[in-house]
């Protein structure tokens, strides 16, 4: 199944395979159960059918070239950037959340924005108008991911590192590390004792933020869908 090439016309067999792959992705991701005080929290579901994949492709196509360009500048996973934009804003550059997170990658001026400015040697922080600018938002958001990525460099397994990066992006690096130790080096060492699957389950069971638990699940679903779309449906 992993190396099937499906005709662009999506015949009946292709449609069945798409739905089966969607079920398979959900089956894999269900291993990361979301629990809190022994109560299961139902994850936000994504309909991984043909309609979803086509919508995802349309969204990504609009910004693909610039995302590819910026991902190379900052050495950040291009697929992860695309997945974050899909989950954060559904590729709507004008979105502003109740907590004043702005634009495609839902950045806050006073936190991620200011930190990226500091990294670049700039004073102050980006304005709301700046963050609604597509190019600026993707650039700053990817730069922020690169900052977090460098701080997680001690994590050996690339998949575990990606999970840690996702959770840090949505809820802060400090919160993640304190789950393991107040000492940075000890925290990283403990994380390295987990397999990616164990780390994912640990986050879903014990991260203090329910939002972060759901976010990890959602990003993983979209990340897998993008890979599937690129390698099996193109």
Domains of the chain, residue spans: 12-232
Of the candidates 58, 124, 149, 136, which has an alpha carbon nearest to the alpha carbon of residue 93? Answer: 136
C-alpha of 130 from chain center:
22
Instruction: Report d(CA 141, CA 109) in Å as an integer.
Output: 11
Q: What percent of the chain has pLDDT over 70?
A: 75
C-alpha of 231 from chain center:
19
179-196 confidence digits (pLDDT tens)? 999 999 999 999 999 999
Instruction: Report d(CA 94, CA 189) in Å as an integer.
Output: 40
Model confidence pTM above 0.85: no
Per CATH, domain 12-232 is 1.20.1560.10: no
pLDDT value at residue 91: 94
pLDDT value at residue 89: 95
Q: In order along the chain (234 residues), what is the average pLDDT of each group of 10 residues?
A: 34 42 46 41 46 72 93 98 96 94 97 97 97 97 98 98 98 98 98 98 97 96 87 62
Place of tokens 């992006």: 169
pLDDT value at residue 56: 74
pLDDT value at residue 234: 57
Instruction: Report d(CA 136, CA 132) in Å as an integer.
Output: 8
Q: Where are the alpha helices (DSSP H) in the chain?
A: 12-29, 50-74, 78-89, 114-120, 128-132, 134-151, 158-171, 173-178, 184-191, 196-206, 210-232
């Amino acid at each position: 199944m992993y190396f099937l090439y499906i005709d662009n016309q999506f015949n009946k067999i292709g449609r069945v395979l798409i739905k089966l792959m969607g079920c398979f992705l959900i089956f894999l991701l269900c291993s990361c159960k979301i629990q809190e005080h022994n109560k299961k929290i139902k994850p936000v579901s994504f309909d991984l059918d043909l309609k979803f994949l086509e919508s995802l492709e349309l969204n990504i196509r609009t910004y693909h070239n610039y995302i590819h360009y910026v991902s190379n500048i900052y050495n950040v996973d291009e697929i992860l950037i695309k997945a974050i934009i899909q989950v954060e804003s559904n590729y709507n550059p004008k979105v502003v959340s109740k907590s004043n997170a702005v634009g495609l990658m839902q950045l806050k001026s006073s936190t991620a924005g200011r930190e990226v400015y500091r990294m670049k040697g700039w004073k102050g922080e980006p304005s709301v108008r700046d963050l609604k600018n597509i190019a600026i938002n993707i650039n700053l958001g990817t730069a922020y991911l690169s900052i977090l990525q460098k701080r997680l460099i001690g994590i050996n397994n690339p998949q575990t590192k990606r999970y840690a990066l996702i959770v840090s992006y949505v809820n802060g690096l400090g919160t993640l590390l304190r789950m393991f130790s107040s000492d940075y080096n000890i925290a990283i060492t403990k994380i390295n004792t987990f397999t990616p699957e164990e780390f994912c389950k640990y986050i879903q069971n014990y991260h203090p933020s329910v939002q972060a638990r759901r976010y990890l699940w959602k990003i993983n679903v979209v990340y897998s869908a993008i890979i599937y779309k690129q390698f099996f449906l193109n």
